[in-house]
């Protein structure tokens, strides 16, 4: 999957958050979108995933030589972010089943494998609302990593994770981001140190 941004800008009321973004994301690379808190990183990511429309410019998606319509782009990506909600009334099993009604498992993955990655094989029937904030973040990341999509988008991926959780996250990155367009929004180097391309949102103010 490739994404091409042409003169992309976004404003709220009369204030431009960023403007004039000309940039290409290529399927073999791993990107970090950088900038301080409140600079517009998450806003740009939401434009990239099609959940927010730009105030200016155009965005193009290309997958295996075919043009993908903007409103279809979400079907080609997996995402994890602190502001994405889980269904608290679901059990772990129900949440996994629900998620994979809309996404396919990566090769070699199934519901049992997801529980093993989470180290929650004994909590399959536990309700999400009883999970700690760290376990909820681990679940969001696992669902994104284990989905068979050509794009992976991560916003502040280690939010609510302790040191052990950060190591766990980095091990999944190495396993599940290969040959996949990966985009990370962050201002913490440990979250994006594996990336080979960098876009600083403050260059487009």
State residue 135's pLDDT score: 94
Fold of 2-204: Rossmann fold (3.40.50)
Q: Residue 151: enclosing H or E segment and its boundaries?
A: strand 151-155
For residue range 97-149, list pLDDT tens digits in order.
Answer: 999 999 999 999 999 999 899 988 778 899 999 999 999 999 999 999 999 99
State residue 45's pLDDT score: 96
Stretches in the chain below the pLDDT threshold 70: none
Is 0.85 topped by the overall pTM? yes
> 177: which 2 tokens?
């981001």
Return the exposure string of 99-112: e unless at least 16 CB atoms fall within 10 Å of the residue's CB, then b.
bbeebebbeebeee
State residue 201's pLDDT score: 96
Parse the chain into domains and list their residue ranges.
2-204
CB of 43 within 8 A of CB of 52? yes
């Amino acid at each position: 999957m490739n994404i091409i941004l042409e003169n992309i800008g976004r404003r709220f009321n009369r204030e431009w958050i960023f403007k004039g973004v000309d940039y290409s994301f290529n399927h073999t690379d791993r990107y970090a979108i950088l900038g301080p808190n409140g600079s517009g990183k998450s806003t740009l990511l939401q434009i990239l995933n099609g959940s927010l429309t730009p105030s200016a410019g155009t965005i193009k998606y290309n997958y295996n030589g075919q043009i993908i319509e903007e409103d279809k782009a979400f079907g080609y990506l997996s995402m994890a972010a602190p502001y994405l909600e889980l269904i608290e009334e679901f059990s772990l099993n129900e949440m996994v089943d629900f998620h994979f009604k809309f996404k396919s498992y990566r090769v070699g993955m199934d519901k049992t494998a997801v529980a093993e990655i989470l180290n929650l094989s004994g909590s399959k029937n536990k309700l999400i609302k009883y999970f700690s904030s760290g376990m909820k973040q681990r679940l969001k990341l696992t669902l994104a990593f284990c989905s068979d999509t050509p794009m992976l988008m991560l916003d502040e991926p280690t939010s609510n994770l302790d040191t052990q959780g950060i190591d766990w996250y980095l091990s999944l990155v190495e396993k599940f981001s290969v040959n996949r367009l990966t985009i990370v929004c962050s201002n913490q180097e440990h979250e994006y140190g594996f990336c080979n391309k960098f876009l600083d949102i403050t260059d487009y103010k």
